[in-house]
């Protein structure tokens, strides 16, 4: 059964506003025309979607059941048009986006003005936290993570690799000495990220050394925020493991230097975008994904 999406759009608006005339006006339709089109849709479906009285409009049981499907059909239409590059200026709605505060502050917040200018109909609601959270329970349209999702209810899209290195400030190394071998880390003050899995260090020949933090060593400082970890190392607190996207500026300016540069962190971490599999990839989500891939993608901005 082929349905007219204009009539579906009118029904969704009328259901949201509980006012057929107002919904029609929003679409440029006279009240009588709006009523006729809704009646036509109901006749096609063989069900009354809205209860009408002289005083009010309410959703019928069939209307409540049909409404989410109508929304999905409209969302798929928007996504299809966005994929073809049509109607970009008309993409609208509120996008609920979540991500690690450190990454968003450094690499997404600075480019938001460009995105908002390109899509003036989109509003953003941001949740920034370096702690893990549930995307679906939080009701987010899209989330950025620095690990691949193992949740079967989510779809992931990789943006870039998340290369990690050991680093410290020149002042700290001058005061405490520079580690020459991984085992030397046991004699240093270490800064670790809260709840992070210890990462294995390997030599250039591919031989496994120790982990960071080393076994049975308690870090001097534990943080749950990437920016604080970077600042602690920069101010001489100790040695930390950090992502290149977080410290690339400090490495270039010399306020942080690599520690044990001949050893690599054995890690497959990456920057991922994830969204609920049950959600239609709406136009607002699709254009934001495309924008982030365009601005951050391969090679990532911190490696250029």
Q: What is the CATH number of domain 5-83?
A: 1.10.10.10
Q: What is the pLDDT of residues 275-297, one digit of tens each?
A: 876 556 778 888 899 899 889 87
> Within the chain, where are the H helices?
5-17, 20-26, 31-45, 61-83, 101-103, 112-118, 135-138, 170-176, 226-234, 244-253, 283-296
In the three-class reduction of DSSP (H, G, I as helix; E, B as strand; rest coil), residue 59 is classed as: strand
Q: What is the pLDDT of residues 97-121, one digit of tens each?
A: 999 999 999 999 999 999 999 999 8
pLDDT at residue 249, rounded to an integer: 95
Question: Domain boundaries in the chain?
Answer: 5-83, 94-162+270-303, 164-266
- pLDDT of residue 248 exceeding 90, the answer is yes
pLDDT at residue 115, rounded to an integer: 94
Rounded CA separation 48/161 (Å)? 52
Rounded CA separation 9/27 (Å)? 9
Q: What is the CATH number of domain 94-162+270-303?
A: 3.40.190.10
pLDDT at residue 69, rounded to an integer: 86
In the three-class reduction of DSSP (H, G, I as helix; E, B as strand; rest coil), residue 290 is classed as: helix
pLDDT at residue 71, rounded to an integer: 84
Tell me the mean pLDDT in the region 213-238.
93
pLDDT at residue 150, rounded to an integer: 60
- pLDDT of residue 85 exceeding 80, the answer is no
- pLDDT of residue 163 exceeding 60, the answer is yes
> Which of the pair, 89 or 209, is modelled with greater confidence?
209
pLDDT band at 133 (very low <50, low <70, confident <90, very high): low
Residue 296: which residues within 8 A CB-CB, separation 6 or more?
107, 108, 159, 160, 271
Mean pLDDT of the chain: 87
pLDDT at residue 92, rounded to an integer: 83
For the domain made up of 164-266, the CATH class stated in words is: alpha beta
- pLDDT of residue 161 exceeding 80, the answer is yes
pLDDT at residue 97, rounded to an integer: 93
Tell me the mean pLDDT in the region 134-157.
70
- pLDDT of residue 149 exceeding 70, the answer is no
Contact 190, 220 (CB under 8 A): yes
pLDDT at residue 171, rounded to an integer: 97
Q: Do domains 5-83 and 164-266 have the same CATH topology?
A: no
What helix, strand, coil percent values describe the chain, rounded to 5? 45, 25, 35
Terminus-to-terminus CA distance in the chain, angstroms?
Answer: 52
């Amino acid at each position: 059964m082929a349905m007219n999406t204009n009539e579906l759009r009118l029904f969704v608006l009328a259901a949201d506003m509980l006012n057929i005339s107002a919904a029609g006006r929003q679409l440029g339709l006279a009240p009588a025309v709006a009523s006729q089109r809704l009646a036509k849709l109901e006749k096609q479906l063989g069900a009354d979607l809205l209860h009408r009285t002289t005083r009010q409009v309410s959703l019928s049981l069939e209307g409540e059941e049909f409404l989410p499907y109508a929304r999905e059909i409209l969302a798929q239409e928007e996504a299809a048009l966005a994929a073809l590059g049509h109607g970009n200026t008309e993409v609208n709605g509120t996008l609920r986006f979540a991500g690690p505060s450190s990454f968003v502050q450094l690499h997404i917040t600075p480019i938001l003005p460009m995105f908002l200018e390109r899509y003036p109909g989109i509003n953003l609601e941001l949740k920034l936290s370096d702690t893990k959270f549930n995307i679906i329970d939080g009701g987010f349209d899209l989330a950025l993570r620095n690990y691949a999702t193992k949740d079967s209810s989510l779809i992931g899209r990789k943006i870039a690799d998340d290369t990690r290195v050991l680093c410290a400030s020149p002042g700290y190394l001058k005061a405490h000495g520079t580690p020459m071998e991984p085992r030397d880390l046991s004699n240093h003050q270490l800064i670790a990220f809260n709840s992070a899995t210890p990462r294995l260090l390997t030599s250039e020949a591919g031989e496994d050394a120790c982990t960071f933090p080393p076994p049975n060593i308690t870090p001097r400082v534990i943080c749950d925020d990437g920016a604080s970890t970077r600042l602690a190392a920069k101010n001489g607190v100790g040695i930390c493991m950090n992502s290149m996207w977080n410290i690339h500026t400090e490495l270039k300016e010399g306020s942080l230097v690599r520690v044990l540069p001949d050893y690599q962190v054995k890690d497959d971490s990456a920057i991922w975008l994830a969204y609920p599999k049950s959600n239609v990839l709406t136009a607002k989500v699709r254009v934001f994904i495309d924008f982030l891939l365009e601005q951050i993608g391969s090679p990532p901005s911190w490696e250029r």
